Amino acid sequence: MSGSAHVSELAVQLGSGQGWAMIRTHFGIQSFGVNAYMADEPGMTIVGEHDELGEGSGGHEELYFVSSGRATFTVNGDEIDAPVGTFVFVRDLAAKRMAVAEEAGTTIVIAGGKPGEAFTPSTWERNAPALTHFATGEYDKAIEEFERLLAETPDDPRVLYNYGCALSLSGKTKDAIANLKRALELDPDFAELAAKDSDFDPIRNDPEFPSPVAGKAGSGSSGS
């Protein structure tokens, strides 16, 4: 739907002075990915290191635009000073990229898409709204969001894994273990992550806890 909003109205606090605005989701944009990331203080990571080949990524070429403040980007080891008004376009999906705020109140807008293909949201982005509730400890809201996602895609191991995290942290041990087991059946690679994931510490000693089973699936990415 057509409409307008100021970036400050859309910002969700991720904790520790970092914020995220789900621009694409807010407006229901269907043809490209677009989000904004904010840092209240210099020194904060504003775009987490990632490439666009990893699991959960969209395989997108990405355009970063510094709309306020100043950031230092690192792309494939190259440092780029990026004052307000700078565009950094990363076309190489394999390029490792990240950005750190150099000034208080830095905002970076990221747009992305896959050349030659119609846009589809990345798995990371589907999970991301629910993951914002972890920062505020609102696990019930995260659970609601994951249940909405699972109604759409019941066999998505990333959603099941993250759902398990939220259930574990909210004390719903039996359901947490059941969903974690289902995630591991669908994608055994999550076992390594679960073995170190503090989200499962509340239920790790339960005899039903799958063994051996850190961070939430996909939480390391910031993208379009």
Partner 1 sequence: MSEKAYEVAHLDELDRFPVAEEGLVWRPVRRRLGIKAFGTNAYTADKAGDRVVEEHYEKDGHEELYLVVNGRATFVLGDDEIDAPAGTFVHAEPGTRRGAVAAEPDTTILAIGAKPGVPHEISKWEDVFVAFGLLRTGDEEGGRRHLEALLAANPNEWQGFYNAACFEADTGNAEAAIAHLRHAAEIDPKALELAANDSDFDQLRDHPEFPA
Q: Does 10 bind partner 1 (CB under 8 A)?
A: yes
Given candidates 39, 47, 71, 111, which one binds partner 1 under the rule CB under 8 A? Answer: 111
Q: Does 153 bind partner 1 (CB under 8 A)?
A: no
Q: How far, in Å, CA of 32 to CA of 121, rounded? A: 8
Q: Does 44 bind partner 1 (CB under 8 A)?
A: no
Side chain identity, residue 207:
P
Pick the piece of the chain touching partner 1 (CB under 8 A) from 1-9, 164-172, 176-184, 199-207.
Answer: 1-9
Given candidates 76, 136, 153, 198, which one binds partner 1 under the rule CB under 8 A? Answer: 76
**Residue 57 near residue 46, CB atoms below 8 Å:** no
Stretch 77-96: interaction string toward partner 1, x if CB under 8 A: -x-x-xx-xxxxxxxx-xx-
Distances (CA, A) of 173 to 27, 79, 104, 209, 213: 36, 45, 41, 9, 15
Q: How far, in Å, CA of 102 to CA of 71, rounded? A: 5
Q: How far, in Å, CA of 160 to CA of 55, rounded? A: 15
Site of interaction with partner 1 (CB under 8 A):
1-8, 10, 23, 27-32, 34, 60-61, 63, 65, 67-68, 75-76, 78, 80, 82-83, 85-92, 94-95, 97, 107, 109, 111-119
